[in-house]
Amino acid sequence: MPLGSTEYHSDWARNIFGEGKAEGKAEGKAEAILAVLTSRGVGLSDAGQTRISGCRDLELLDRWLRRALGATSESDLFGNGS
């Protein structure tokens, strides 16, 4: 296996490291959402910041990121509870 390759040969390793990779993607998307909102001057409540930072649903984070590009308020971002 080449140096730096992320191919794992056991199910255990694939599960452990795969979860870590997904967790990292979610954290990165959450940080991107917060950065976009901050740069646009959109304020968030502590609960809103916690909701974004704690989310690990990549599809939901993608939806929020798209909404963040045009949001002018927290309610624009979260819409109907999502």
With beta carbons less than 8 A apart as the criterion, state whether 22 and 15 touch. no
| Sequence-ordered alpha helix ranges (H) in 1-82 | 11-39, 46-54, 58-68, 74-78
**Tell me: the pLDDT tens digits for 7-52?**
656 666 555 555 566 678 999 999 999 999 999 999 999 999 999 9
What confidence score (pLDDT) does residue 27 get?
93
What confidence score (pLDDT) does residue 79 get?
84
What confidence score (pLDDT) does residue 59 get?
95
Q: Cα dist. 21→17, 26, 58, 59 in Å? A: 6, 9, 12, 15
pTM above 0.85, yes or no: no
Place of tokens 């308020």: 73
What confidence score (pLDDT) does residue 23 get?
77
With beta carbons less than 8 A apart as the criterion, state whether 22 and 56 touch. yes
